[in-house]
Amino acid sequence: MPDGANSILVRRRRRDQAATTRAPRGQRGTPSLAALAAVFALAQLVLVRPVLGLGWDEIVYVSQVTTHHPAAFFSAPRSRGVSLLVAPVASWSASVPLLRVYLALLSGLALYLALRAWRGLFPTRVLVVAGALFASLWVTLFYGPQAMPNYWVAIGALIGVGCFLRARAERCSSRVLWGLAAGGALMAWMRPTDAVYVAVPLLVLALVRRHWRPLLVLAAGLAAGAVPWVIEAYLSHGGLGARLAEASRIQGGLGWQIAVDDQLRSLGGRALCRPCTGSMPSPLVTVWWFALPVLAVLGLVVAARARRLERTLVPLACATTAALPYLFMIGYAAPRFLQPTYALLAIPVADALWHLVRSPGGAWRPVAAPLVALALAGHLAAQLAVLDGAVSRNTESRRDWARTADTLHRLGVRPPCLLTGHEAIPLAYYAGCSSGATSGNNENMTVAGVLRTADRLPVAHLAAAGDAPARYARSWPVHRISDLDVRVAPGP
């Protein structure tokens, strides 16, 4: 009997020791997620490189908060979220490399926090693979260090959907509810319309199941993020309805338009496919796009067999509604539009991949595991090849803008100055000028306003080589710069 009592005490002591050495629940898997986020941030700095100049849309967002350049025209579809995101750096420094490093580090931290929101819903190994799948896409690596909204909508979607699912499992803990509100606010802060499409399944599910606290918290987060956009609609666009109508017009008119093939063409590294013509990329580049829904359905089957259907079905539903407007409602494409969809699909896809390589008992499948590893290696190689091409093309095009700006300076078009016409927004930023348009989506001044400006400041009109200039600039002396005809107004 004493021996039996001693053995019981020994076993209890061992269990107590194991409990004290085991990592707290809040820290399990944290190192692996942190390592993934660090690799993602470092990969951006190495592969995209901080010296990449600002692109067209970035210029619009950054110029709103910098004191070093005049603010570019801010059209109806845009939201101020990106401008506020870059303000901590852009408001006091004109250094593009510094801004790139800041955004790369911030995007890595954001990915870490977004994946942490899913702890307890899926094993850490699934979250690590999901994060790696999303982070290794060329579009994620390319836009992570850029001042663009879509990556941040994807992060907000991951945080919001993960916290929504955890709110029920953890009986609506305050920390989870704050995360749910933050996810909704971040999405709406960056792109209010995208936020609505992502959140529709969550709002419907909460309403049907009468989960009032998550419903109210999510709605409050979305409203808080959208308030600045709505206020600006009434101050500058004639009301919310007028701003939505103007945004639709600028995007070519929202309605039934199939853009699936356009999205496929953009996968080859095209930042904007408008108009989307030309041949399709190599099947090696697009095969993952067709495998994605198949693996997502497999993940749904795995979840149904494991009796955890909701935590897989909800992100799939949100990914679907997020993709619908960009696949079937606009007449052009950009690969960044689908980043929220890719982020949400990554989790059930990662779950499906683990199911393929591991048996229910945890043993490796001797045939499937090497095949999956080989497929992932090929996918990564294709993504890196597309990324390299995209970085090279964009680096050269932005250097060309800088060279054109230098030539404009030699022609006497120096700050303060005004550029109008073709590519006026990016070239004006690089030249330190204001940009103006008398027609089109960026219309912000009249012909009379341009001529009045020419009476006191250097003004130049830009047109593609051989194209007819605006009527007010036809008599101005013309100069050929690269593939542009530049007409400089007579001096004041």
What's the chain's average pLDDT? 92
| Tens digit of each residue's pLDDT (9 = 90 or more) over 141-192 | 999 999 999 999 999 999 999 999 999 776 668 899 999 999 999 999 999 9
Q: Please give the share of the chain, as a percent, with pLDDT higher than 90.
A: 86
Confidence at residue 143, expressed as pLDDT on a 0 to 100 scale: 98
CA distance 313 to 297: 9
**Element counts in the chain: helices (H) and strands (E):** 19, 5
Nearest CA to 434 out of 410, 460, 467, 469 is that of 460
Place of tokens 């419903």: 215
Cis peptide before 275 (omega within 30 of 0): yes
DSSP 436: E
Contacts of 148 (CB under 8 A, 6+ apart): 57, 58, 61, 82, 336
Which of the residue ranges 87-101, 157-171, 229-243 would you say has the lowest mean pLDDT? 157-171
Phi, psi of 436 (to 5 degrees): -145, 155
Confidence at residue 17, expressed as pLDDT on a 0 to 100 scale: 39
Residue type, 81: G
**Is the predicted pLDDT of residue 25 greater than 50, yes or no?**
no
Strands (E), 171-237: none
Q: What pTM, to 2 d.p., does this model score?
A: 0.93
CA distance 201 to 228: 24
